[in-house]
Amino acid sequence: MADKKKQTTKEIAARIDPIYFRSWHRLRKMRFFLSLGLVGLVALWVAGAAVMGHETLYANGPVAASHTLFQADCQKCHVKSFAAVQDVTCQACHPADAHSEDDPRCAHCHTEHRGRIDLSVVADAFCNACHRDHSAITEFEGHIDFRIEKRDQHIRFNHAAHLKPALKDGPMNCASCHVGDGAAFLPIAFQAHCSKCHEERVDATLDDVVPHGVQPERLKDWIAAVYLRRLGAIRPETELPGKGGAPPEWRDELLRKTQTALGALMKPGAGCMLCHVGEPGGIDPPQIPLRWLTGARFDHHTHRFKSCSKCHSDIARSTDAETLSLPNVRNCQSCHKDRGAAHTCITCHAFHR
């Protein structure tokens, strides 16, 4: 048998059609038309769903738990089809003050269509993206200590004296005055928290209780009216001052009693001035803050399992209103840590204040 001539690579390559991939054959035609048909069916399906109002077919995913009420109404948020949700749409239901002049869009931090999540939960990374001076605080253990500014509260108060176990009207505790409404405490009010022990009377011979919250000038007129009633009851035959000419001794007696009673009430360290401060002619209204850490949020009701002294350890030794018994960050870090209470930025800090 004669040896076959060995073909070269060039001769072998010449047998291959260089444009074979452009040639049509049965399998390729079938695959092309099948793909085209499937695309057409999907387009018809989506168009039919849109006409019928079934917009959720092309949604990115389930909406957050708080938006399930209108999850089938895409135009509730997407005013323009396939356009990003604008802040004005969010603020129609969620009015919020601006955090800064360069606020990102609402949807930048509150990303929708990620399942039944809580949209108010925002990762620390979003906070640190702008607060770069805090970027080193990657966890709550590295948080800086709280910065608390003392304020003139225009009041005198001694916690230690009020927490003594043997008081005339029985022992008091923190809840005797600090009554909570859940997240914070209600304002301290004289009638609700102080009047039981600190009612003032005009003098020892009268039962009339001095009204609270009255400035000295008006208080003087009120005291004079009290004595007028008393003097009128004692001497009914005498005409009232200004009506027919009252005896001069009555006017002198009225002035003397009024001045004496007012002087006792305005005496430093006694009467009204036991707690209040101010000039001789007026009393400064108290300015007791309801919240001291205004840059953070704290819920006393959530922390009710701990006694007040766990965080406010030195309050029983506080003898003046200027001494603040607020906890430091280490108190919080003892619970807010890994495998403990939440310790993200938004646990304590609110973006929208």
Q: What is the DSSP letter of 7?
A: P
pLDDT at 54 (0 to 100) = 65
209 by DSSP, 3-state: which? strand
Q: Which two tokens stand for residue 183?
A: 């997240």
Tell me what the mean pLDDT of segment 130-135 comes to: 68
Distances in whole angstroms, Cα of residue 103 to Cα of each of 87, 96, 107, 121, 130: 10, 12, 11, 17, 10
Percent of the chain at pLDDT > 90 equals 16
Distances in whole angstroms, Cα of residue 161 to Cα of each of 54, 158, 271, 312, 322: 70, 6, 17, 16, 15
pLDDT at 154 (0 to 100) = 93
- CA dihedral for 122, 123, 124, 129, sign (positive or negative): negative
Write the pLDDT tens digit of every residue in 194-214. Answer: 998 899 998 888 889 999 999
Tell me what the mean pLDDT of segment 86-94 comes to: 89
> Domain residue spans in the chain?
122-145+328-353, 151-188+286-326, 198-283
pLDDT at 247 (0 to 100) = 61
Query: Are 272 and 280 contacting, i.e. CB atoms less than 8 angstroms apart?
Result: no
Give the pLDDT band (50/70/90) at residue 276: very high
pLDDT at 1 (0 to 100) = 47
Tell me what the mean pLDDT of segment 17-41 comes to: 81
Whether residue 234 is predicted with pLDDT greater than 80 in this model: the reply is no
Whether residue 216 is predicted with pLDDT greater than 50 in this model: the reply is yes
Tell me what the mean pLDDT of segment 153-167 comes to: 90
Least confident of 55-64, 241-250, 283-292: 241-250
Write the pLDDT tens digit of every residue in 45-81. Answer: 877 777 776 666 666 788 888 898 888 888 888 888 7
Percent of the chain at pLDDT > 70 equals 88
Whether residue 240 is predicted with pLDDT greater than 60 in this model: the reply is no
pLDDT at 107 (0 to 100) = 85
Query: Are 168 and 197 contacting, i.e. CB atoms less than 8 angstroms apart?
Result: yes
Give the pLDDT band (50/70/90) at residue 142: confident
Among residues 149, 87, 145, 100, which one has the least CA distance to residue 127? 100
Whether residue 215 is predicted with pLDDT greater than 90 in this model: the reply is yes
pLDDT at 57 (0 to 100) = 64
- Mean residue pLDDT of the chain comes to 82
